[in-house]
């Protein structure tokens, strides 16, 4: 893929605005300030395609970047303090709606984790969600340049016990400052998207109508445990997406 061809396409503030996907999507997930915008800019060889900020952003939007026949999807960052309930709800329905929509061509989620720290509760909720929902994902450890060799080795060792199923998860150590890991990430994405095609949405609709058969016991999921579950996500991370296999 020619990563220089990426263009910002569109931002959505609510899940309902997002049209059906007409091409493979690669989504980026991570807590606010983890280095998501910096990684997207590095990957796509641009200085300011995604806005980098020292102050965590306040607006939850899903941003789409197109690159050849693929969309890169920047999910809103989670986990920053002092956010209103209304904003949390918005975040929840955006990310929850997007990830839970089994009809999207979600080829991969790239889950970012700051290499300097143990994964947060929210990071672990995301990872467990991907595992339960069978959403393909990899982990990118960010800000590798900020750790000395020994501290870095210690952190990487700790991740093997802190992150569930770590030995089965592909992970990349990354730095937006030194560029470490960017080629490895590009190669992985190239392999994943080499046959990527844009499919007209009308055709997609016809195709997916047959998938209704797969919608097994969709109804008795317990995804309504809401605000009082003790889960920082308010319980939306209960997979009920349609399983296609």
Instruction: Kindly list the residues in this chain that would bind ligand GDP in the complex (CB under 6 A).
Output: 30, 32-38, 52-54, 77, 142-143, 145-146, 175-177
Q: Which is nearer to ligand GDP, 24 or 77 (CB)?
A: 77
User: Closest distance between Mg ion and the C-beta of residue 30, in Å?
Assistant: 9
User: Closest distance between ligand GDP and the C-beta of residue 152, in Å?
Assistant: 13
Q: Which is nearer to Mg ion, 122 or 196 (CB)?
A: 122
Binding partner selected for residue 133 from Mg ion, ligand GDP, none, CB under the kind-specific 5 to 8 Å limit:
none
How many Cβ atoms sit within 10 Å of the Cβ of residue 136? 11
Q: Which is nearer to ligand GDP, 122 or 241 (CB)?
A: 122
What element of type H or E holds 73? strand 70-74
Residues whose CB is less than 8 angstroms from the CB of residue 207 and which lie 6 or more positions away in sequence, other chains included: none
User: Closest distance between ligand GDP and the C-beta of residue 107, in Å?
Assistant: 21
In the shown chain, the binding pattern of residues 191 to 220 toward Mg ion, with x for contact by CB under 5 A and - for none, equals ------------------------------
CA-nearest of 79, 128, 80 to 238 is 128
User: Closest distance between ligand GDP and the C-beta of residue 65, in Å?
Assistant: 13
The number of angstroms, rounded, from the C-alpha of 106 to the middle of its chain's C-alpha atoms is 10
Q: Scan for tokens 């915008």, then name that residue.
A: 37
CA-nearest of 43, 85, 111, 112 to 226 is 85
Q: How many residues bind Mg ion (CB under 5 A)?
A: 2
Considering only residues 23-52, where is the footprint of Mg ion by CB under 5 A? 36-37
Cα gap 51→30, rounded to integer Å: 15
Q: Which is nearer to Mg ion, 34 or 172 (CB)?
A: 34
Both structure tokens of 223: 């995804």
Binding partner selected for residue 21 from ligand GDP, Mg ion, none, CB under the kind-specific 5 to 8 Å limit:
none
User: Closest distance between Mg ion and the C-beta of residue 76, in Å?
Assistant: 9
> Residue 74: which region, alpha, beta or left (left: phi > 0; alpha: psi -120 to 50)?
beta
Both structure tokens of 214: 């797969």
Q: What ranges in 101-220 are assigned the alpha helix state H?
A: 121-133, 149-162, 182-193, 201-209
User: Closest distance between Mg ion and the C-beta of residue 181, in Å?
Assistant: 18
Binding partner selected for residue 116 from ligand GDP, Mg ion, none, CB under the kind-specific 5 to 8 Å limit:
none
Contact set with Mg ion (CB under 5 A): 36-37
């Amino acid at each position: 893929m020619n990563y220089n061809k990426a263009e910002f396409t569109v931002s959505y503030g609510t899940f309902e605005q997002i049209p059906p996907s007409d091409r493979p999507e690669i989504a980026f997930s991570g807590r606010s300030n983890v280095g998501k915008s910096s990684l997207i800019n590095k990957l796509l060889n641009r200085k300011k395609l995604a806005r980098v900020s020292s102050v965590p952003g306040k607006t939850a939007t899903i941003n789409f970047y197109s690159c050849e026949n693929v969309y890169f999807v920047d999910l809103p960052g989670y986990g920053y303090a002092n956010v209103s309930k209304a904003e949390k709800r918005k975040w929840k329905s955006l990310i929850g709606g997007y990830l839970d929509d089994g009809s999207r061509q979600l080829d991969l989620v790239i889950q970012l984790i700051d290499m300097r720290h143990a994964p947060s509760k929210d990071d672990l909720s995301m990872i467990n969600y991907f595992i339960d929902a069978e959403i393909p994902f990899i982990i990118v450890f960010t800000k590798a340049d900020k750790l000395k060799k020994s501290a870095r080795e210690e952190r990487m060792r700790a991740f093997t016990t802190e992150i569930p199923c770590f030995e089965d998860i592909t992970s990349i150590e990354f730095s937006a400052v030194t560029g470490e890991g960017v080629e490895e990430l590009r190669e992985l994405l190239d392999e994943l998207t080499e046959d990527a095609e844009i499919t007209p949405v009308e055709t997609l609709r016809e195709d997916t109508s047959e998938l209704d058969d797969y919608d097994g016991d969709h109804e008795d999921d317990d995804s309504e445990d809401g605000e009082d579950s003790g889960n920082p996500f308010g319980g939306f991370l209960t997979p009920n997406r349609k399983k296609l296999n």
